[in-house]
Amino acid sequence: KVLAKEYDIKPEISYYPNFIVVDDYAYIGILLQNFGIEDSPKFNLTLKANGAVVDSIIVEGLSPSNYYYKDLNWMPASEGTYEIEVVVDINDSNKANNIAKDKVKVFKTKEVNISFADTNGNFVERQIELGNVGTLVNGVASLTIPDIPLEFIIGKQGSDEIAASFYSNSTINGKI
């Protein structure tokens, strides 16, 4: 086959969650760019995990110097280290850049109940940040978190101030 020199599509894995967990969707952000001088024809964009296809879409084409962003989904069934791979299936002028890869870890999860109280035992509202996910807690909240030691931030924002503390959890007898 003769490679076309008019378009050159390159994928890049631009986003995935800090914590990818078993049996929950992980949205993998993919940025595509056409480095060629002409519009590309339509092509398949495929997401693989350890070589197995987990999601795929058809991209209707891409103009020169333009970007296209798309989230593809993956729901891992077990914990471990995976190689995620994004592939554009197009016969373009540089097939060497049609694949992007990265290694990610997938974690089991556990349920924890969390609350914050003042010195009188009254519930207080706080924001908790785990990785790139934030949750507002007011009362008792049940959270599903990765079953690993975590670093997290607990904070409160006032009208003219922000107070935050950095913490790390540990596991004692299987409990956080």
DSSP 39: -
Encode pLDDT of 29-86 as tens digits: 999 999 988 999 999 999 999 999 999 999 999 999 889 999 999 999 999 999 999 9
Percent of the chain at pLDDT exceeding 70: 86
Cβ–Cβ < 8 Å for 47, 85: yes
Integer Cα distance of 47 and 171 in angstroms = 34
Tell me how far apart the terminal alpha carbons of the chain are, to the nearest angstrom: 58
